[in-house]
Amino acid sequence: MAILEIVKDPDPVLRRKAEPVTQVTKRIRRLIKDMLETMYSADGVGLAAPQVGVSERVIVVDIGEGPVALINPEIEIDEASGKEIDVEGCLSIPGTFGYVERAEEVVVNGLNETGRSTRIKAEGLFARALQHETDHLDGVLFIDHALEIQSETDK
């Protein structure tokens, strides 16, 4: 495994819509392992492939309950419920935080690292992380949704 370089805003890859993964290959499984190692090394709870310069629809999340990898994740909009405003940050925008409104509960469909279809029901921080990382795949950053933005220098 390898720790990858995390791409920082305003790198254009962060604003590009990522390409769907057509086949879960050894390269994709290696990417997932490297993304997890990179995320843990940076003390993050989620990471999307564009954040390591790969414009493909792959995310990893671990809120402390074990790692989850999703390929081609899609949030079922009609299954999302509740609203919650909380603070978010991003490994690609270090030192910046913002209050973002997200659905409190979501259902996400995608493929796992073995290529099998999976459906995840999530709430709270797990739901927030899945929404945040899935946004990255569409070129959307949390600052685009933020109701208020602060930087560490504002403190």
Could you say which of 84, 133, 148, 152 is catalytic?
133
Report how far Cα 134 is from the mean position of its chain's Cα atoms. Answer: 5
Q: Distance of alpha carbon 154 from its chain centroid, rounded?
A: 26
Could you give the 3-state DSSP secondary structure of residue 72?
Answer: strand
Token pair of 119 as six digits: 């459906």
- Active-site annotation holds for 133: yes
10 Å Cβ neighbour count for 43? 7
Residue 119, SS3? strand
Task: Select from 88, 92, 22, 21 the least CA-distant residue to 50.
Answer: 92
Which positions are annotated as active-site residues?
Answer: 133
